[in-house]
A and B are shown apart, each in its own frame.
Chain A
Amino acid sequence: MNLDKLDLNNKVEGVGRVNDIMFGLVDGKNIAPKAISYKDIDSEMENFVSTKLNVLFGGQQIKTFFFAQQRMSEFTKTWEMVDENKNILPNFKIVTRENNPKPGTMQGGFMNIPGDLYFNIGTFDKWDGENKITVTYKMKQPYCVDILYNIKFVTNRFNLINELNNKVNAAFKSKQAYLNVNGHFMPIVLEDVGDESDYDLDQRKIFVQNFQLKVSGYIINEEDIIVEENISRALLGIEIDTKRPSLVSKKNNNLIVEFPRKSRTVMTFKSDNDYHIIGVETSGSNILSYMIMVNGELVSNDFNLQKYDRVQVKIERENRNEFSTLNLIT
C-alpha cells in the first residue's frame, strides 16, 4: 500500500491549517486510496507492455493487444491492422492473462486478519459553516492476488526480437519492475521466457516469443473503503433570559418579598393589581428595619397599591448570609 499517499505526517499549521479546515473537502482533498480492480491491473499491464516494452518497426510503435476469449475482443482490437483477408498482420504484441488468478503471495504467504474489520487510515477536519466535522477514512485489509500474464511477441523479423528482448531484460535486470495501478505500486517479476515460433520448413515461418510476467497485486473493492463524518465541535446558539426570576409572590393574598442570601437589600417591583396593605410582617425573618416607598413616596404600614404602582422595599439585615422575607399583609 502506498502510505505516502495518506500524507499522515505532513501537519499543516497556521493559515494553511485554517484553509484546510475551511476548504477540506471542497478542494477535492481525498486521502483514501483508490480502489483497485482486476480491470485496473490488466489495463496497466497493457500500458506497461505498450510503453515500457515498446518496439519500433518502420518508425511506428508496434501495437499491443490485450485479448480476451470472446471473439469480438480480437475484432475490436485488431480491425485497423488486418489485410484484405482480415488477418492480423505481424508485427504485434499480445497480452493474455491467466483467467483465474491464485491467492497472492505478496505478504509472504501470511493470510489476512480474520473478519471484515475496518481500519482507520486517516482523518482530517472540515468546517461546513456551522459544524467542525472530523472526516475519517476507514478501509478493510486488501487481499492479495498473483496474476500471471503471458506476453507474446509475434514478428517475422529477428532484429525485432533482439529489440524486445533487450527491453525486457533491461526492465527486469533488478529482479522486478513495477506497475503503478491507481497510485499503488505492484511488483512484476519475469517468470519465464519461451519460444513458440513456427519453424516448419514447408510452412509459413513466424516468430512467437513468450514472456511470462507475474504481478503480485492486491484488490481493493470500492465498498471496502468507507468515509465517516462526525461532528467534533458545534457552535451552539443559546438564548438566555436576562430577567431575574420574580422574588415577589402571593400567598394567602399576602405579598411576600424575598431577599436571597447575599443579595442586594433593595427590591423593586410593579404591582400587578390593586391591593390594600394593612400591615407588614418581619418577625423572625432576619430583618432589623425596613422602608417602603410607592411611586417614590415613603409610606407607612397601612397603604393602598394600585395596579402598575412602582414599589421599592429596602431592608436592613441582621445577617447577610441568611435568607430574609418581608410579608405585606392585605
Chain B
Amino acid sequence: MGGRKAKIVRNTMFYSEDDFNFETQIGMDYIDEDMNQTVLVFQVDRTKSATIDIYGESEDEESIAYKEPVEINVILVVDKAVNKSYDKTQNLARYLQIGNLAFSVYTKTLTNNGIDISYGDYIGLQVTPDQMEYFVVTNDGRINFDNKHTMYGFKSFYRTVECAPADKNEFSGI
C-alpha cells in the first residue's frame, strides 16, 4: 500500500510495539512448535490459469495454475461432515459433504512466507498420510481490524480464513 504511513499510537500507555511483537512471537512459537497444525496454501495464478473467456471458470481440474504451494502453521477447525443429497425431491444421489475448514493464521506467518491468501485460493489439508483434502477460500479474512483480531485494540495480528470443500474435478492439487 502506498501513500501516507502513520504509526499506531493508540492504547500505548501500558502497551507498545515491543510488547506487541513479543506477544506475537510467543503465540507463533506456540503454534509453530507446540501445536504444529499446518495447511498447504495454493495461491491461484490468475494470469496463467486457463479459463473460459466469458465466464472465467476453469475448464477442468488441470486448468488451474497455482504458485508454489506453501505450508504454513495455523490453528484450524474442521466442521463435522454433513449428510446431503444432490436431488432434494427424493433425497437421492447422497454424499457426505466434508465440513468447512476455518483456520487462524498470524499475519506475520504469511509475511514471513511471502504469501497472501485470497478469495478463491485453494487450501490443502493432509487428513491421513495418503489423503489430502482440498478447500477453496470463501472468506479470506482480509479485513481483520475488528476487536477480536487485534491485540488489546492495538493492532491486528491474525486472520481467520474460512474455506468450503472443493470438488476433485475443480481442483486436483498435487
**Chain A contacts to B: CB under 8 angstroms:** 57-58, 65, 67, 69, 71, 74, 78, 83-92, 94, 96, 150, 152, 154, 156-159, 196, 201-206, 208
Contact = CB atoms under 8 A, between A and B. Distances in A.
B112 interface: no
A247 B168 CA distance: 110
B96 interface: yes
A159 B97 CA distance: 24
B167 A85 contact: no
Main secondary structure of the interface of A (DSSP, over half): loop
Contacts, number: 77
Nearest to B170: A156
A74 B94 contact: yes
List 10 A-B pairs, minimum CB-CB distance, nearest first: A87-B95, A67-B92, A204-B164, A154-B86, A158-B55, A83-B168, A152-B87, A94-B93, A58-B60, A156-B167
B97 A202 contact: no
B169 interface: yes
B90 A90 contact: no
Interface size range on B against A: 20 to 34
Given A83-B168, A88-B95, A89-B169, A159 B89 contact: no
Contact of A208 (B86, B95, B96, B170): B86
B92 A69 contact: yes
Query: Most chain-B Cβ atoms within 10 A of its Cβ — which of A67, A74, A158, A159?
Result: A67
A150 B131 contact: no
A204 B95 CA distance: 13
Interface in B118-174: 131, 138-139, 162, 164-170
A203 B164 contact: yes
B43 interface: no
B88 interface: yes
B19 interface: no
Given A69-B92, A152-B93, 5 more contacts: A57-B60, A74-B94, A154-B86, A156-B169, A202-B164
A204 B97 contact: yes
